[in-house]
Amino acid sequence: MKTLQLEEHLSFAPEVRAALDENRPVVALESTIVSHGMPFPENVETALQVEAVIREQGAVPATIGILNGKLCAGLDAQQIEQLGKTGKKSLKVSRRDIPFALIDRTAVGATTVASTMIVAQLAGISVFATGGIGGVHRGAETSFDISADLQELANTNVAVVCAGAKSILDIGLTAEYLETYGVPVIGYNTDCWPAFYTRKSEFPVDYVMDNTADMAAVLNNKWTLGLDGGVVVCVPVPHEYEHDADVINAAINSALQEMEQKAITGKASTPFLLARISEITGGSSLATNIQLVMNNALLAANLAKDYSALQL
């Protein structure tokens, strides 16, 4: 894309633009977690807390969204509140939706993992923190429901720090899909995929690493060699916020049954399931979700610092 054309569609928060120009570390953050993943006002409070965690580590947060017909690399507090208040009425924007979301300058667009990766790469941001990635849905052998996040990871040069795939998904098939497309999965001090609300699953990661300096070296090697595509960094939820596996799995199964009965599919499925699981668990799953996002942001900030140091 020509620079002029890119500037027509992409805007930078001043803080983010300055950091990128000076090769200081920047961490991208998605906005569907604000609009569709949590209720107001917890969503706005969490978004601002996550940004604060990143700043405390010496990096710059760049919450990604679509406002005024622009892809925004970085939102200010007022814009984040606008997204939070608009909530599920905002457009949930993945790769296919970006060109359409830019047409309506009055639309509020919240970016998924896939579209956040796209905007991050366009902006020159290499590290992205989120809660959990999308993946292969349970029952995909008949529904063919597979998140666009996985193809984005196969093609887009951004490291995604997460608590694994959302546990409403089929983690094993998600891991197989990523392996097929050559996307490495790093476990931070864990030899298995976390299961989002819980620290462990039965599915092994590709590599175990215990420091962000080595992770940054891997990213640098991969992309310098022209090995395009993302990297998944799995970070288990902190022990004190981990759910009992039996309790959370029972809640997930109940929510999945309700979703099927109500014939909820597509973009509406994940927000429905997360909200319903929160209701079934009396809000404790939401508390876990908030804590794991902040934990991921902390590691992502340190990874961004180590990676930017290699670009000097």
Instruction: Give me the active site residues, please.
Output: 30, 166
SS3 assignment, position 302: helix
Backbone conformation region of residue 263, classed left if phi is above 0, alpha if psi is from -120 to 50, else beta:
left
d(C-alpha 141, C-alpha 255), whole Å: 20
DSSP per-residue codes, 190-204:
-SB--BTTBS--S-B
What single DSSP character describes residue 188? E
Residue 164: partners with Cβ closer than 8 Å, 6 or more residues away: 132, 133, 171, 193, 194, 195, 196, 201, 234
**What single-letter amino acid sits at 124?**
G
Strands (E), the chain: 10-12, 26-29, 60-67, 70-73, 91-93, 108-111, 127-129, 159-162, 185-188, 207-209, 231-234
Candidates 206, 204, 198; CA nearest to 167 is: 198
CA distance 144 to 77: 38
Helix, strand or coil, per DSSP, at residue 177:
helix
Alpha-carbon distance of 273 to 279, in angstroms, equals 10
